[in-house]
Structure formats: structure tokens, C-alpha cells
Amino acid sequence: MPLWHTAQESAAQRVTRAHEEDTGTAPAHVASAPATWPLIGEHVDHFGGLTLVGLSDLRAAAAVSPRQDDVISIVCHQQRVDPSGKDVEPEVTHGSSSLEEAAQLAAAQQPELDDNGQTITPPDPTGGIVQRLAGMVYSMVNRQLLSRDTAGLDITVVTDIPDDAGLGNAAAVDTAVALALLGDSPELSDAPLRARLADICASSAETFSEFPALRTRYSAALRGDGQNITVVDYADNSVTHAPHPLTDELAAFVVVPPPSSGDASAVAQRLEAARDIRRRQRFVSQACHAFGAESLRLLPDAPQRVVEWLEAVHRVHGTEGTPRTDEAASWLNFYEAETERAESFAKALRSRRGADLFPLLAASQRSVDVDYQLGGTEELAQLLTLRGAVAARALTAGTSAAVVAYVPAAKAPNFAADAAEDGFTVVALTAGTPAGLD
């Protein structure tokens, strides 16, 4: 496989042309959003932990225009590269939905109570890009960011972000569409509106997307700084920044092993991991509700107290629909340890102690694989380390097999070329810019 590359013409320029070709009209607004890559902490947001995310120069762009009917028509152009490194025609997905269909999907995700007053967990959402983007429009209407008179829309998307590389392709598409829908707002550059929009994007993805959303991606894409790392502390929902670890002396690459997401077994594994991650997130939410806490991080002695609560639930209501106590204990201990590692990582960035970053990344990789039991990336991380990376860590373990490798700049060209020659898809990480109108 070659190094991943994109067309010289920007995604925003291409989506403008594609929208005119697909719909016969010029777009009302065009917006684009960057790929995002988590450095550490992406599994602890529901716990109330700390998550660090960077922006990439790869982008997704969206163009929108109104229709005269109530159809939400969506066309997505996904950039591809063939094994020889030549550009090939983008993969094009067509689909349509409506606000009424989105409302039905949203209603199906509302929890109910059984005869004993216990919550009946709704089925996991199964929506792809069409349902997700129609759901985005529905969510923005219901959260009063769009007029209730909103009906039909033509939405065209062009994305240069690999879909299975852990770089937040779906989040970038969501963000670009949301900004394009709000193209007339004079407050679009203001932090309060962007914070609200990030929250709506994340909650909408949770409701409609078959894969669980990483909330930090939306905050980073909308409120990040391309020259720095975005730090989101979910104890108080604060968004701050830390110096970027990539310098003239250190490069980074996303390495994606074959098979791609188009392989049936790979897709099945990703969906199974998505269900498992949602199961953990719902357990955390139930524990928060039981203790009346905004997050478990704010609950003193959370691992011990939550396990004791779970044991009581098992005695009274049985074990159906809940994790084993040893599972829960392992998850909770991981959340606390990973949050501490993320805090140490942020401190090391801010004090510019670069050498302290790599042991933390290595410890996080081991813990995600062993303690949190989202395996599948450990062998690749070890291989990349043996090949010259000073650290290698899964980007989004479970839902992607991709690993980010940190490589001394002097070795970077040979490292990337060797990995590509061995059949891996290699994406160079270069600082990007926040989402905005184009």
C-alpha cells in the first residue's frame, strides 16, 4: 500500500463542484472539518476523565442547499487510493431520509421501565451515514439551532479521511455538515455556540450511529487549535490546550493494517467492539445515576463503591443486563489509572518534558489491551516499536486496528516507506486547522 495522500484541490472546492453536479444547484453553504487523533484518554470520557486530541490536515467537507420537499438527500464521496498509489474514483454513497424517519429512530432509543422499575436498555443504533446525518438535522431542529420549518435538504460530502484509520472520519463529516447547516449564524465563530454544537453533534451520534462517538473529537474539531493539543477534562467539561508533541525532531504516522473496513470479518469485529464499548458506557451512566454523581471521577472511592453497588444489584435483580463484578472492577481500575496517565501526559506536554511522554504511551497501550481488554493492536504496536518508533499506541482500540507511531524525524521517511511497502496504509500526521466555513 502507498502513503495516504489527497488531491491537490481542497475538499471544500471538490464538494462545491460535486454538489452542483449532484443537485444542479449551487450550495447555500460549504464547511469543512479536520480529522482528529487521540493521543491518550479516549476511553475515559464517560468516567469523567481527561482526553487529549490533536488535529490533522486531512479534512471532510460538506455542502448543503434547501429542497422543496421533505426529503433529506445525502451523497458522500469517500477518497480512495489504490495499491499502486494512483488516485482512483472516490467511493460514492447515495441515500435519503426525512425528519419523520429520524424521529422514529430517536424514539426507539428512548429507555423504558419494566414492571420492577428497572430500565430496559434500548437496542443499539444501527445507522450509517444517511441515518446519522438526517439525525443530525433532526437533533439541531429539536435543540433549536435550526428552524422548525426546516424540511428537505440536499447534503453533499467529500472526505479525504480514511474511514478505518481511527482518525474520526464520521465526526469530521458530522461537524462539517452541522457548520454548513448553520452557515447564516453570525455567532458561528463564538465559543459558546461551538461548545453547544459539539455537544449536539456528540449526542446525535450516540443516538443514530452504529459506532459509539468519541465526544472529544467534536470539541477538538470545533474548539481546537491546530498548533496545539486539545485537552478536555470531563470532570468540569473544560477545554484547554497544551503544546504539540510533534516537532522538528519528532514525527508521527497512523499505520493501518490490512484488511480494510471493507472486509466482512473486520466489519463484524468492529461492530462487536462497538456493542461492547456501549455496554461499558451504559454501565458507567447507570452507576452515576445510582450515586447521583455527574461523573464517577467525582465520586470518592469510586471503584470499591460501584462494585459494592453492583453486587447489591445482582442480589436483588439478578445479573441479566449487567457486567460481572470482576469485569466492572477491571474497567473502573482502568478508568482511574488511565485518567492519571492522561493528567501526567498533559503536565509533561505543558512542561515540555518530551521524554516523559513515551513511557506513559507504552503503559496506556498495555493497559488498554490487558486491563480494558480491547485487544487487537498490541502486536502491531510492538512491531512498529521494533522498527524504530519511540512509542506506538492504538488510536481507538476496538473500533479501529490503527496504531499511531511516534518516530524520530531523521528516521521518519524510511520508517514510512518500509511500512507502506509491507502492505500497511500509512498516514502522515500533520497539524490541521479547526472546522469552519469555506
DSSP assignments along 275-314, one per residue: HHHHHHHHHHHHHHHHHT-S-GGGSTTHHHHHHHHHHHHH
Cβ–Cβ under 8 Å, residues 252 and 244: no
Q: Are residues 47 and 133 in the same domain?
A: yes
Q: Are residues 233 and 285 in the same domain?
A: no
- Whole-angstrom distance, CA of residue 73 vs CA of residue 156: 8
User: What is the pLDDT at residue 90?
Assistant: 82
Which residue type occupies 257? P
Q: Is 27 exposed, middle or buried (0-12, 13-18, 19+ CB in 10 A)?
A: buried
Angle, CA 105 vertex, CA 104 and CA 106 arms, to 5°: 90
The CATH number that applies at residue 295 is 3.30.70.890
Say which DSSP state 123 is in: P
Q: Are residues 302 and 396 in the same domain?
A: yes
User: What is the pLDDT at residue 395?
Assistant: 92
Cβ–Cβ under 8 Å, residues 419 and 387: yes
Cβ–Cβ under 8 Å, residues 29 and 437: yes
> To which H or E segment does residue 323 belong?
none
Q: Tell me, yes or no, whether 436 lies in a domain.
A: no
Write down the pTM of the prediction. Answer: 0.94
The pLDDT of residue 46 is above 50: yes
User: For the residues 11-35, what does the mean pLDDT come to?
Assistant: 96
Angle, CA 204 vertex, CA 203 and CA 206 arms, to 5°: 65
Which residue type occupies 361? L
Q: How many domains does the chain have?
A: 2
314: containing domain: 264-429
User: For the residues 127-134, what does the mean pLDDT come to?
Assistant: 95
Check residues 222 and 80 and name the one with the higher pLDDT: 222
User: What is the pLDDT at residue 263?
Assistant: 57
User: For the residues 227-244, what does the mean pLDDT come to?
Assistant: 95
User: For the residues 300-322, what does the mean pLDDT come to?
Assistant: 93
Which stretches of 74-231 are DSSP H helices? 99-108, 129-142, 169-181, 191-208, 215-223
435 pLDDT band, cuts 50/70/90, is very high
Q: Tell me, yes or no, whether 330 lies in a domain.
A: yes
pLDDT above 90 coverage of the chain, percent? 79
Q: Are residues 360 and 304 in the same domain?
A: yes
Give pLDDT tens digits for 380-408: 999 999 999 999 999 999 889 999 999 99
User: What is the pLDDT at residue 82?
Assistant: 57
Q: Are residues 17 and 146 in the same domain?
A: yes
Whose cell is 482526553? That residue is: 51
Cβ–Cβ under 8 Å, residues 306 and 332: yes
Q: Tell me, yes or no, whether 249 lies in a domain.
A: no
User: What is the pLDDT at residue 86?
Assistant: 58
Boundary-marking domain end, from 244, 278, 294: 244
pLDDT above 70 coverage of the chain, percent? 95
Q: Tell me, yes or no, whether 368 lies in a domain.
A: yes
User: What is the pLDDT at residue 317?
Assistant: 86
Q: Tell me, yes or no, whether 434 lies in a domain.
A: no
Q: Return the bridge partners of 338, or none.
A: none
The CATH number that applies at residue 53 is 3.30.230.10
Q: Are residues 228 and 282 in the same domain?
A: no
81 pLDDT band, cuts 50/70/90, is low
User: For the residues 417-431, what does the mean pLDDT come to?
Assistant: 92
Give pLDDT tens digits for 142-151: 999 999 999 8
Q: Tell me, yes or no, whether 11 lies in a domain.
A: yes
The pLDDT of residue 326 is above 70: yes
Q: Are residues 272 and 177 in the same domain?
A: no
User: What is the pLDDT at residue 261?
Assistant: 45
User: What is the pLDDT at residue 361?
Assistant: 97
> Would strands 153-159 and 72-78 be described as parallel, antiparallel, or unpaired?
parallel
Cβ of 149: how many Cβ atoms within 10 Å?
6
Question: Who's near 68: CB < 8 A, 6+ residues apart?
Answer: 152
Q: Are residues 113 and 72 in the same domain?
A: yes
Q: Tell me, yes or no, whether 404 lies in a domain.
A: yes
- Whole-angstrom distance, CA of residue 251 vs CA of residue 253: 7
Q: Are residues 275 and 148 in the same domain?
A: no
Phi and psi, residue 239, nearest 5°: -120, 115
Q: Is 301 exposed, middle or buried (0-12, 13-18, 19+ CB in 10 A)?
A: exposed
User: For the residues 418-427, what does the mean pLDDT come to?
Assistant: 91
User: For the residues 205-213, what does the mean pLDDT come to?
Assistant: 92
Q: Return the bridge partners of 427, or none.
A: 254
User: What is the pLDDT at residue 115?
Assistant: 67
User: For the residues 119-127, what does the mean pLDDT come to?
Assistant: 84
